[in-house]
Structure 1
Amino acid sequence: MDLLGLLFFTLYVILVSALARRTLGAPIGWPRSIAVALVVLTSAYGAAVAVVKAAGLPFTEEALRESPLPYVALAGLALVWVFLFGLVALVLLELFMPTGALPPVRSLFTGWKDRRRRARRYARITAIAVKHGLGGYLRGRRRTAPVQGMAKTARALTAALNEAGVAYIKFGQMLSTRPDLVPEVFTRELSALQTRAAPEPWPGIEGAITGALGRPAAEVFASVDPEPLAAASVAQVHAAELRDGTRVVLKVQRPGAQRQVEADVDILLRLGRRLQRATAWGAALGVQRLAEGFAASLEEELDYRVELANMQAVAAEVDGDRLRVPRVHPEYSSRTLLVMDRVEGTPVGDASELLASFTAQERREIAERLVGEVLRQITVSGVFHADLHMGNILVGPGGELSMLDFGSVGRLDSGARSSLGLMLAAVDRDDSIGATDALVDLLDRPEDLDERRLEREVGQLMVRYGSGLGGRGASDMFAELFPVVLGHGFSIPPQIAAAFRALTALQGTAAAISPDLDLIQAARQQGRLIADEAMSGAALRESLEARLMSLLPALQRLPRRVDKITEDLEQGRFTVTVRPFADREGRRFLTDLVRQGVLAALAATAVLAAIMLVTSDQGPMLAPDMPLYTFLGAGLLFVGFVLALRALVLVFRDDTP
């Protein structure tokens, strides 16, 4: 019997919980709903007894059997009002502590090991921030860095990220490529972050190679050099030779690197959410969105199959005579191992002696070849290397150029390529109107754009850089372009930002190859060659055919539609239909507004009617001290309060997708 009673009580609790969630119309968490339901059911009996006694009814078994209706009615009234207080408690909890603000109940019993590890890492990160004078930013006491102290803050942030570890270093590197979000002084300091590390002992790397291959390395490679060519926090690069004599390099992910990076990214995401809520600068910068985007990109970077696909995509579009991409071996590559042909050359950043052996004209030709190929990738093929710093470009003994590290590859659709090409062509013609139109088409147009002011500012920028760079780099040009477009409310799509980033990085690499290279002039010359290639007979005919094919259905229907419009105008049947609420968001806003208004009106009406009934001293008596109208008024007042709570939930609930 006790077990059956417990079962019924449990069912009642679940029923009351579901009824509370349904009544409020909000996705309230089950744990708090069940807790409130338990309080309601345990309090219902005492409340019913109190209401019956207050109504003047004798609380005896004989009286209950003789006339049960008043007892049942008053007990029901007591139950619904206790239920109402439970709803009020739920609404207050949702207002001050929304569902999801606290960790789930099961977390109290699981994950203690991960929680301790995370707490130690939190303490370590906080200690690093405080050590470098950044503690105030974590606590939200400082809204932003003062202008005069930005350089100092940028240096402190760079040092803190460098000390925090690989995930934070890579996050800083990502921020250094976003001049649309952080000031130029920060991008300059953060771009110095490097992920060099002490080499992993060979036994660990050998085991990682064997695990990635799924068989002993000796079955695939004739030899592997235990000494790494390069070592970073996540991966090492080793020279090797296949069984057929092909010289290759192996990019091997360090054992445990994935686990360590995932743990740090988890903490970074939590810090992002906390800073987004608790600090003004975090909300303004959109730290949570930045951290989530970084986590997704880092997950791809840790999967070498993505880099392999990137290399194949770029290799399919690149001109091999101007720029080489190492051939990959997908049959030996995996998520943690990338096998590619070894290319001879020295990174541009370390090739000063080699470059000094070339004449100035030869160096200029090498740099122009690099600029031309990168521009062709961006404006013609649409698949381009997005991280063109000096360490990723190799110069061979004969001036050959090769690309490395394809973890970051940009892709532009045909519309973006056309707009970017038109913008560069307009710059070449000193056409500020055409450049402005192309820029507006390239970016996401804001609603309140002042096109005339944008045109003037773009024109001033073109005049400043129109006759060469004057000793300044293209990176300065793009650094000035970003504030212009952001000042007009543009949002820069990630792939467009990647193209600008590639062009900005190209400036430093090309200048290291040929210091006297005028990048703008080189870009103009190469742009004309690219335009000639794109406007050649075969290419132009193919483009026109594609355009005509897309327009053909509309052209075929055009005469019939013109006929129909003319006939309707002649006979007075021409009408124009306007649908002011065709937009889904507009309909949704209006529906929510009407719903809130109707609920508020119904709640006010019910409360006023209830007050009139409660204060009435006429009518039949339900109990010696309880008029029937008072009882009905109390029930109607319950309905009014429930409607008011429902309206309140609609006001404070955030349904933004």
Structure 2
Amino acid sequence: MTYEITGLPNPVHYIRDFKRFQEILSVLVRHGFGHLVMELKHSDSALGRLISSFRFAGLDEGKTSLITVAERIRLVFQDLGPTFIKLGQILSTRPDLASDEIMIELQHLQDNVPAFAFPEARNLIEVELGKKLEDAFASFDVTPLGTASIGQVYAAQLHQGTDVVIKVQRPGVRSLIESDISLMLMVARQLENRIPELRAIDPVGIIEQFQRAVSRELDYTNEMRNARRFKAAFEENPRVVVPAAYPEFSTRLVFTMQRIRGVRITESASLGIDPRKLADVAIDSVLTMVFEHGFFHADPHPGNIYALEGGKIAFLDLGMVGHLDEGLRFRLADLIVALVENDIDAAARALQAMGIHDEPINRALFNVNVSEIMHKIIGIPISEICLSEIIQDLFNGARRHKIKIPPDCYLMGKALLTVESVARNLNPDMNIETAITPHLKRLMIMRNTPARVGKLLWRRLSEAADIMGDLPEQASEILALMQHSKLTLRVETVEHGSTMMQVERLIGKIIAAIIVAALVLSSAMFITFSKIDYLIMGVPAQLVLGVAGYLVAALLGVHMVRQVIRQTDRS
């Protein structure tokens, strides 16, 4: 049943399920959040009038006062089912969106949902694959291996004899989640209007981020692509196994992959494998994902890392992944090097470069806060430091200064924290510096290769050329505006002649600076890419000409600096 609600911030909102909306509000009241419901109820809107028509059971204040707010939030999410459980699980990995207390509590959320009947699963598989179950699989175990809020997993065998597992999406879960998210957005907008203090938390933004994340997770083709990409990335690593995906038996609602037989990495001793060696493989694999591939498993907990015969590990459940572009990886490397070297200024610069800030930053105060966090590790051997925990603390500190760290950086911090905890559990003597140093060195070498530097210089030169190329057209537009008396200039000056002289000098300096920059860039490009088979006094011609360009640029630069100094002295 659909109900139209008007009078909200956006023109029209829909409550797709009247009973579901009432259920959500009832659960909030039951767990001690009746004051939020009352805020909505007393709002002067159609939503407030709708809530006024509901009847809620009385709130047992004595019962809710015995548990914390974080525990009550977890109970709300638990009682409301798949959408809210998934939201809670995502919030438990996002220190930028939830407090430490709430994050820890939400990590205890469980998918306590009953399995749906096999005939429903069979029907969905046959509709999605377009063939009978017997035609697709040689055998199929009707008892699910596992059940979760979004779907459940079955074991089967392909006709060629390969053992596989099949994820089948829970019937109706997509429409339920879409309905719940529309309700969340509606309530979040209304709460922001009624309680201005909530705007700093940005509940609407949180729900919209969640909407994007869960939409990707509901489409199993995303997980299939992730699995294939991870498998290609670790193809040449004999210690890491990624289950093969089978696109011909996969759709948006059904995902078929190779079955991995092993045990949780924390139970590796049962296979007679040295857990310390597996700790090294696990931490090295995740560091490789982060620093070299820029594409990482966002939830590498023990249930998602299996130990296999022969001392190998396998990564499972690739639905939640994170991405770091090249620039973020370089900044992360700078941050870690600064932490290892206890360089507070360098750490603050790297941290600021990783984020986005709309307002000016109080650098002195920011550096003090970074210093306070880093003082926790000064004098402590790096082998005893939980590096990922310090990184998370720094990210949280940046957030307090209105620096917006990209969400995937938080995912990366949580992934490193999780795998570091797993590795230390397997090997208490693990040295994180020994594990991470080779990855940082490779990243730094890649950062400074002549090919990459040349490519970067070429890109900047191309951008400068584009700007110069646009100047004539822009100048023509300005002249056209002047001809039609449509260009307005506001000049506030007393000494017109003096001002014009200053403008002329400034233009001259800008032109000279452009010439110097062009000489530096072209000389670098000439040295890097030019292939002239000619020697000048035994030295390659491109090197001589490139150095000559640098010298001319240096002389011009010195001349410009002297002029600036003279002008400053006169002033």
TM-score, with structure 2 as normaliser: 0.71
Within 5 Å, which residues of 2 pair with 1:169-568?
A: 169-318=85-234, 320-348=237-265, 351-352=266-267, 354-355=268-269, 362-445=274-357, 447-466=359-378, 467-468=380-381, 473=386, 476-514=389-427, 516-518=428-430, 521-522=431-432, 524-534=433-443, 540-550=449-459
2:564 — aligned with what?
none
Question: How far apart, CA to CA, are the structure 2 residues paired with 1:572 and 1:189?
Answer: 62
In 2, are the aligned partners of 1:371 and 1:506 still within 8 Å (CA)?
yes
Question: How far apart, CA to CA, are the structure 2 residues paired with 1:125 and 1:554?
Answer: 53
SS of structure 2 residue aligned to 1:464: coil
1:123 — aligned with what?
22
The Cα offsets for residues 569-608 of structure 1, whole Å up to 9 and x where unpaired, read as 999943449xxxxxxxxxxxxxxxxxxxxxxxxxxxxxxx
SS of structure 1 residue aligned to 2:164: strand
2:31 — aligned with what?
132
Question: How far apart, CA to CA, are the structure 2 residues paired with 1:307 and 1:536?
Answer: 32
The Cα offsets for residues 49-94 of structure 1, whole Å up to 9 and x where unpaired, read as xxxxxxxxxxxxxxxxxxxxxxxxxxxxxxxxxxxxxxxxxxxxxx
Within 5 Å, which residues of 2 pair with 1:592-607?
A: none
Change (3 A) 1:406 1:539: farther
Within 5 Å, which residues of 2 pair with 1:15-94?
A: none
Question: How far apart, CA to CA, are the structure 1 residues paired with 2:437 and 2:394?
Answer: 22
Query: Structure 2: which amino acid aligns with 1:490?
Result: I
Within 5 Å, which residues of 2 pair with 1:562-581?
A: 573-576=504-507
Q: Which runs of 5+ in 2 are unaligned?
A: 1-5, 41-64, 467-499, 509-571
Question: How far apart, CA to CA, are the structure 2 residues paired with 1:390 and 1:298?
Answer: 23
1:30 — aligned with what?
none
SS of structure 2 residue aligned to 1:574: helix
> What's the CA shift for 1:315?
2.6
Query: Structure 2: which amino acid aligns with 1:339?
Result: T
Question: How far apart, CA to CA, are the structure 2 residues paired with 1:441 and 1:482?
Answer: 12
> What's the CA shift for 1:473?
4.8
Q: Identity of paired residues, percent?
A: 28
> What's the CA shift for 1:553?
5.5
Question: How far apart, CA to CA, are the structure 2 residues paired with 1:574 and 1:498?
Answer: 51
Query: Structure 1: which amino acid aligns with 2:27?
Result: I
Question: How far apart, CA to CA, are the structure 1 residues paired with 2:504 and 2:9?
Answer: 57
Q: Which has the larger radius of gyration?
A: 1
In 2, are the aligned partners of 1:425 and 1:527 still within 8 Å (CA)?
no
Q: Which runs of 5+ in 1 are unaligned?
A: 1-96, 105-113, 142-148, 558-568, 578-657
Question: How far apart, CA to CA, are the structure 2 residues paired with 1:513 and 1:193?
Answer: 25
SS of structure 1 residue aligned to 2:342: coil
Question: How far apart, CA to CA, are the structure 2 residues paired with 1:437 and 1:528?
Answer: 21
1:38 — aligned with what?
none
SS of structure 2 residue aligned to 1:334: coil
In 1, are the aligned partners of 2:239 and 2:311 still within 8 Å (CA)?
no
The Cα offsets for residues 2-55 of structure 1, whole Å up to 9 and x where unpaired, read as xxxxxxxxxxxxxxxxxxxxxxxxxxxxxxxxxxxxxxxxxxxxxxxxxxxxxx
Query: Structure 2: which amino acid aligns with 1:336?
Result: L
Query: Structure 1: which amino acid aligns with 2:177?
Result: V
| Higher RCO structure (Cα 8 Å, ≥6 apart) | 1
Question: How far apart, CA to CA, are the structure 2 residues paired with 1:500 and 1:448?
Answer: 26
Change (3 A) 1:453 1:158: same
> What's the CA shift for 1:194?
2.1
> What's the CA shift for 1:529?
1.0
2:479 — aligned with what?
none
2:70 — aligned with what?
154
> What's the CA shift for 1:100?
6.2
In 1, are the aligned partners of 2:322 and 2:408 still within 8 Å (CA)?
yes
> What's the CA shift for 1:264?
2.2
Question: How far apart, CA to CA, are the structure 2 residues paired with 1:553 and 1:269?
Answer: 44
2:44 — aligned with what?
none
Structure 1 stretches of 4+ with a deviation exceeding 6 A read 97-102, 469-472, 554-557, 569-572
- Of the structure 1 ranges 185-194 and 535-544, higher mean CA displacement relative to structure 2 is found in 535-544
1:163 — aligned with what?
79
Question: How far apart, CA to CA, are the structure 2 residues paired with 1:283 and 1:555?
Answer: 41
Change (3 A) 1:461 1:381: same
> What's the CA shift for 1:447?
3.3
- Of the structure 1 ranges 332-341 and 315-324, higher mean CA displacement relative to structure 2 is found in 315-324
Change (3 A) 1:194 1:281: farther
Change (3 A) 1:268 1:556: closer
Question: How far apart, CA to CA, are the structure 2 residues paired with 1:505 and 1:496?
Answer: 14
SS of structure 1 residue aligned to 2:319: coil
Change (3 A) 1:247 1:547: same
> What's the CA shift for 1:191?
1.4
The Cα offsets for residues 294-351 of structure 1, whole Å up to 9 and x where unpaired, read as 1121111111011111222233333632422211111211010111111122234xx4
Question: How far apart, CA to CA, are the structure 2 residues paired with 1:102 and 1:544?
Answer: 51
Question: How far apart, CA to CA, are the structure 1 residues paired with 2:442 and 2:506?
Answer: 49
Query: Structure 1: which amino acid aligns with 2:119?
Result: P
> What's the CA shift for 1:213?
0.5
In 2, are the aligned partners of 1:151 and 1:186 still within 8 Å (CA)?
no
TM-score, with structure 1 as normaliser: 0.62
